[in-house]
Amino acid sequence: MKESFDPIEPRDMRFDFDDVPIDWHNGSKSVSLFFGALAVCFPVGERFFVKSVKAYRDQIKDPRLVADVNAFCQQEGHHGREHERYNDMMRRQGMPVDAVERRAAWLIGLTQKLSALRQLAATAALEHFTAMLGVLVLQDPDSMKGAHPTMAALWRWHSAEENEHKAVAFDVYQAVGGKTFMRSAVMFTVTITFWLQTVLAFLSFMHAAGILFSPKEHLTLARYLFAGQGGLQSITRPYFRYYAPRFHPNEIDSRPLFEEWRAALN
């Protein structure tokens, strides 16, 4: 296992979305709306994450993990607040945010009918996804090339902190007796749900923007997502490592990327 992160630091970052255009990512609506499709469910998702982790806080014996849980909850609270404002921006731009949020809330409602341990496993799985996607943003200097400064800063901050706290839900799951079979089965289900929700949100945003059938926009997005060594396909290996019985999130050493971001922040 790689060295863990230092004690997690909640950073109360705030962003001004007033002058952000719909094509904020280098003039591409499709790339911008893909990020929006990823982000639109973060507020409802992060509230679920916090609730599922806090449900086990009193059972944790390790003081360091208790401190990490508290910091995790603070970070996710900050993320949720800023992404609520991100969603408000998309509403002003004519995106059907409310419909997408209702579907996400329905899915979360179904998940909350499961046992508390399965809910925690779902949180650990989704935290693995956000950390992997965050690495893509942090490791490629061109990932935010030409992006509006506010949005570039938002996504780098969120990506960095998702990697900083990526092991918290997993460690809580392990500490309360969670087993490999359950977390693997839940990850399989979460994978289908995550990408289905993201694709449906993206298509609805593209339709609202009037570019659903634009070959140029789809080609631009495909090039952004899959060109080069750091494309979306590069998460395949770290994704499947999650299913290994001895897996731990800190095996995937994203600390240098986090440290680089933190140094630039200061």
pLDDT of amino acid 141: 86
Give me the phi and psi of 28, to 5 degrees please.
-100, 115
Using DSSP's 3-state secondary structure scheme, residue 218 falls into helix
Average pLDDT of span 142-164: 97
pLDDT of amino acid 4: 65
Average pLDDT of span 172-177: 97
pLDDT band, very low/low/confident/very high, at 29 (cuts 50, 70, 90): very high
Give me the chain's average pLDDT, please. Answer: 96
pLDDT of amino acid 266: 73
Average pLDDT of span 208-229: 94
Q: Where are the domains of the chain?
A: 29-265
Q: What sign does the CA torsion over 129, 130, 131, 135 have?
A: positive
Q: Helices (H), strands (E): how many in the chain? A: 11, 0
pLDDT band, very low/low/confident/very high, at 3 (cuts 50, 70, 90): low
pLDDT band, very low/low/confident/very high, at 131 (cuts 50, 70, 90): very high
Nearest to 160 by CA among 126, 133, 196: 133
Indicate the class that CATH gives domain 29-265.
Answer: mainly alpha
| pLDDT tens digits, one per residue of 233-248 | 999 999 999 999 999 9
Nearest to 87 by CA among 125, 124, 44: 44
Amino acid at 35: F
Using DSSP's 3-state secondary structure scheme, residue 25 falls into strand
Distance CA 48, CA 52 (A): 6
| pLDDT tens digits, one per residue of 63-101 | 999 999 999 999 999 999 999 999 999 999 999 999 999
